[in-house]
Amino acid sequence: MRIKDNIWLGMLIGAAVFALCYLLLSLAPWGEAYTRAPFLLAFIPGIILFRMAMVKWNLEKIGRGILAVTFVGMLLVFFLV
């Protein structure tokens, strides 16, 4: 079965991966000094997934969607948290 190369699907995948990783990381007891740590660590799987989509699976539009969600999310964390 072939996956349709779509930017919206990439954005959905990127947001889902971030949400799942953030949920798992938020269960760990972080100190007051590490308020950004769960947010920033949750973006790492998105970056790895971006590379796999672009290079290994040759899904360019899905990779762009994942990268867009990761980039905008990181900007929001730096400016709002």
Q: How far apart are alpha carbons 61 and 54 in whole angstroms?
A: 8
pLDDT of 80: 87
Q: pLDDT tens, 12-65?
A: 999 999 999 999 988 888 877 787 888 889 999 999 999 999 999 999 999 999
pLDDT of 1: 66
pTM: 0.87
CB-CB neighbours of 18 under 10 Å? 20
Residue whose token pair is 């007051």:
32
